[in-house]
Amino acid sequence: MDNTTQKPLILITNDDGYEAKGLASLVTVAREFGEVVVVVPDGPRSGMGHAITMNMPLRIKNYKNADGVRYYKTNGTPVDCIKLGQKVVLRNRKIDLVLSGINHGSNSSVSLIYSGTMAAAIEAAFESIPAIGVSLLNYAEDADFTTAMTYARKIIAKVLSHEFPPFICLNVNVPDVPVDEIKGVKITRQTHGFWKEDLEERVDVYGMKYYWLTGYLEDLDPNEDTCQWALKHNYVSVQPVQFDLTAHQYIDTLKFIEE
Amino acid sequence: MDNTTQKPLILITNDDGYEAKGLASLVTVAREFGEVVVVVPDGPRSGMGHAITMNMPLRIKNYKNADGVRYYKTNGTPVDCIKLGQKVVLRNRKIDLVLSGINHGSNSSVSLIYSGTMAAAIEAAFESIPAIGVSLLNYAEDADFTTAMTYARKIIAKVLSHEFPPFICLNVNVPDVPVDEIKGVKITRQTHGFWKEDLEERVDVYGMKYYWLTGYLEDLDPNEDTCQWALKHNYVSVQPVQFDLTAHQYIDTLKFIEE
């Protein structure tokens, strides 16, 4: 953030689309801190991971202006929203903070990697823009975002008033309980786990088979420093996220492939 | 791989779709090593990252059987292909190796994170199935895959005959040069860089604006142990890839957020 009297410039996106209650909740909180611009998908884009739109032109539309906030929607992905926000809407103005969410549903453990919400935050981290993805552990359309808003507000205030490390973002997950049941905030690491899938087979009205992805998160990592542990024990999980996927610990082990 | 006389079971996917020349090239190589089953998208899915299909039913069709290889195509993403391959096509048989590609175009540096090819390999790594994504540094539909096939063959042979570390996959990128110009194979780490985008603005036939993503890879990391260095110097880059995105180095720095 510039050391001037100017208000911070905050770009908001999400992956649940422009009509999501979680988006409205995040805008309400963000407005307390600065100038807010919203660039979001024109419908749900959950589970999009780090997808970008390469085979189709991108469209963007200024669909609303309210309370000093400009709202844009696009046919693109959450990651596209960051690019469109930077280049088309803000014309390369310096962004002080990217916020993504509030997601309807958890992005803890390996869900982080499937998450459009978090991919948007990671996209901002590529250019070292401080970024926070916020998720509530409730998938419902009409979930109660009070607790998530309270902790989003606390965390945004701290991020804007401290030096933020370069090339990272934060993955914030909030338990779905009333504020007074939250035990505190924990800085966590990503739980080692995976989605144990099933594909439910159904038959359509024309007699053709189709499948729905279904499953549950298999947790291989019960340790107390993980996001899953924190969330199960009613802590808000705040996880620093980076984007070097190298398995550095196996560089030497794999030298046999060079021979 | 089981220590029996059974041939290894190899599941192949890609992100360029069922008609890609790179897919046919990879199948040709894989058939030398085991029983091959192909599950691929029914069209191009480049830049899909770790997207999965949540809002739409998945369809899958056995579109060809040839030379002992079964071919399936789906309306899903590369990651969906792994799930459909495991659950629907192979009915939870033990898979010895997942191959993804051969991609038309590089997946080095941060492109790894946007890549559907590599997301499919990472999806296999979640369940500790050995997996290799192979990419050729040439986007053309009719690219010459001879060099990439030669090195895919060498690397698959080594992976199947050695113990493979758990919960990782390999990101293999091959320079677009004749085999005799390749200097060797290097185990590398992910180059720190990002896509410096522009969005090209155009006007459609109805007078409405639209945008195409365009840009170039900004390389912030000139070191000799990186994928970009290896590729520029005509080495095949082989990178071990993991999926813990925690920025462990900042866990302590960020403790101020807990207070």
Q: What is the pLDDT of residues A160-217, one digit of tens each?
A: 999 999 999 999 999 999 999 999 999 999 999 988 888 899 999 999 999 998 888 8
Q: What is the pLDDT of residue A197?
A: 80
If pLDDT is split at 50, 70 and 90, which confidence band does A1 have? Answer: very low
User: Among A126, A108, A104, which residue's Cα sits nearest to residue A244?
Assistant: A126
> Which residue in the set B87, B165, B243 is minimally distant from A197, CB to CB?
B87
Structure-token pair, residue A168: 């990272």
> Which residue in the set A57, A159, A253 is minimally distant from B212, CB to CB?
A57
The chain A residue lying nearest B89, using CA atoms, is A199
Residues 6+ apart with CB under 8 A from A137: A105, A106, A173, A174, A175, A176, A231
CB contact at 8 A, B34 and B97? yes
**pLDDT beyond 90 at B121:** yes
CB contact at 8 A, A106 and A239? no
CB contact at 8 A, A77 and A45? yes
pLDDT mean over B175-194? 97
Higher-confidence residue: B55 or B158?
Answer: B158
Is the pTM higher than 0.90? Answer: yes
CA–CA distances in Å: residue B56 to residues A212, A232, B77, B80: 8, 31, 12, 12
B245 to A112: CB separation less than 8 angstroms, yes or no: yes
B58 to A199: CB separation less than 8 angstroms, yes or no: yes
A60 to B211: CB separation less than 8 angstroms, yes or no: yes
Structure-token pair, residue A172: 């914030």
Higher-confidence residue: B219 or A21?
Answer: A21
Q: What is the pLDDT of residue B259?
A: 85
CB contact at 8 A, B23 and B16? yes
**pLDDT beyond 80 at A144:** yes
CB contact at 8 A, B22 and B136? yes
If pLDDT is split at 50, 70 and 90, which confidence band does B5 have? Answer: low
B50 to A52: CB separation less than 8 angstroms, yes or no: no
SS3 assignment, position A87: helix
Mutate to test the interface with B, among A87, A245, A248, A252 (most CBs of B within 10 A): A245
Q: Using CA atoms, how far apart are residues B210 and B215, in angstroms rounded to an integer?
A: 16
> Which residue in the set B211, B243, B247 is minimally distant from A245, CB to CB?
B243
Q: Using CA atoms, how far apart are residues A174 and B19, in angstroms rounded to an integer?
A: 44
User: Among A20, A40, A22, A9, which residue's Cα sits nearest to residue A148?
Assistant: A22
Give the number of other Cβ atoms within 10 Å of residue B250's Cβ: 20
A202 forms beta bridges with A210
pLDDT in tens, B232-244: 999 999 999 999 9
Instruction: Dihedral sign for Cα A3, A7, A9, A12, please.
Output: positive
CB contact at 8 A, B96 and B8? yes
CA–CA distances in Å: residue A62 to residues A12, A88, A89, A117, B202: 14, 11, 9, 21, 17
Give the number of other Cβ atoms within 10 Å of residue B219's Cβ: 17
Residues of A in contact with B46 (CB under 8 A): 54-55
Percent of chain B with pLDDT over 90: 89
| CATH class of segment(s) A9-192+223-258 | alpha beta
Q: What is the pLDDT of residue B1?
A: 47
In chain B, where the domains are located: 9-191+223-243
Residues of B in contact with A255 (CB under 8 A): 187
User: Among A161, A221, A126, A183, which residue's Cα sits nearest to residue B111?
Assistant: A126
Q: What is the DSSP letter of B232?
A: H
B134 forms beta bridges with B172
- Beta strands of chain A (E only): which ranges? 9-13, 35-41, 60-66, 69-74, 97-104, 131-136, 169-174, 184-187, 193-203, 209-219, 235-241
pLDDT in tens, A72-128: 999 999 999 999 999 999 999 999 999 999 999 999 999 999 999 999 999 999 999
Helix, strand, coil percent values for chain A (each to nearest 5):
25, 30, 40
CB contact at 8 A, B7 and B30? no
If pLDDT is split at 50, 70 and 90, which confidence band does A4 have? Answer: low
If pLDDT is split at 50, 70 and 90, which confidence band does A159 have? Answer: very high
Q: What is the pLDDT of residue A5?
A: 62
Q: What is the pLDDT of residue B6?
A: 83
Q: What is the pLDDT of residue B84?
A: 96
**pLDDT beyond 50 at A226:** yes
pLDDT in tens, B76-108: 999 999 999 999 999 999 999 999 999 999 999
If pLDDT is split at 50, 70 and 90, which confidence band does A55 have? Answer: confident
Q: What is the pLDDT of residue B2?
A: 47
User: Among B43, B104, B47, B103, which residue's Cα sits nearest to residue B76?
Assistant: B43
Q: What is the pLDDT of residue A2?
A: 47
Q: Minimum mean pLDDT among A13-22, A154-163, A203-212, B25-34: which range?
A: A203-212
Domain B9-191+223-243 sits in which CATH superfamily?
Survival protein SurE-like phosphatase/nucleotidase (3.40.1210.10)
Instruction: Dihedral sign for Cα A94, A96, A101, A102, please.
Output: negative
CA angle A195, A196, A201 (to 5 degrees): 115
pLDDT mean over A21-39? 98
pLDDT mean over B7-12? 97
B198 to A87: CB separation less than 8 angstroms, yes or no: yes
Q: Using CA atoms, how far apart are residues B63 and A30, in angstroms rounded to an integer?
A: 51
